[in-house]
């Protein structure tokens, strides 16, 4: 089992992890390229040269912004959620996608 794994599923081999990272890289590049413009070309370039899966993880917010401008926020959120699921088993626990919201709605604010 991997140091970063918190499930009982067997850890990914180095080759499996590399293949998954390349799949994520292709997906992110395709999504960024679909937005058009200089910003998306720059992001696609950074995705292409990202050194590790954590770097790709942190580029999701920029990708979300580009997608929201070109497709609308709802479609962007859906694409980023699907992308986030691709990172399962590849990230340290603190960076894993959340399965639930943080629950910080107006009813969760402390009373004064």
Kindly state the average pLDDT of the residues 26-42: 95
The mean predicted confidence, pLDDT, of the chain is 84
Is it the case that residue 23 has pLDDT exceeding 60?
A: yes
The 3-state secondary structure of the chain, one letter per residue = CCCCCCCCCCCCCHHHHHHHHHHHHHHHHHHHHHHCCHHHHHHHHHHHHCCCHHHHHHCHHHHHHHHHHHHCHHHHHHHHHHHHHHCCCCCCHHHCCCCCCCCCCHHHCCCC
Measure the CA–CA gap between 86 and 80, rounded to whole angstroms.
Answer: 10
Distances (CA, A) of 37 to 33, 41, 56, 90: 8, 6, 20, 30
pLDDT digits (tens, 9 = 90+) for 12-21: 899 999 999 9
**pLDDT confidence tier of residue 8, bands split at 50, 70 and 90:** very low
> Cα–Cα distance between 27 and 25 in angstroms, integer?
6
pTM score of the predicted model: 0.75
What is the pLDDT at residue 10?
A: 63
Cβ count near 25 (within 10 Å)? 17
Which pLDDT band holds residue 96 (cuts at 50, 70, 90)? low
């Amino acid at each position: 089992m991997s140091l970063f794994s918190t499930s009982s599923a067997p850890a990914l081999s180095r080759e499996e992890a590399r293949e998954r990272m390349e799949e994520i890289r292709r997906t992110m590049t395709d999504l960024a390229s679909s937005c058009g413009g200089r910003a998306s070309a720059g992001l696609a370039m950074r995705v292409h040269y990202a050194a590790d899966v954590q770097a790709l993880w942190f580029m999701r917010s920029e990708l979300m912004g580009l997608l929201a401008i070109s497709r609308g926020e709802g479609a962007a959120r859906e694409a980023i959620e699907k992308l986030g699921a691709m990172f399962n088993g590849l990230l340290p626990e603190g960076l894993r996608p959340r399965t639930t919201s943080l629950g910080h709605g107006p009813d969760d604010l402390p009373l004064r």
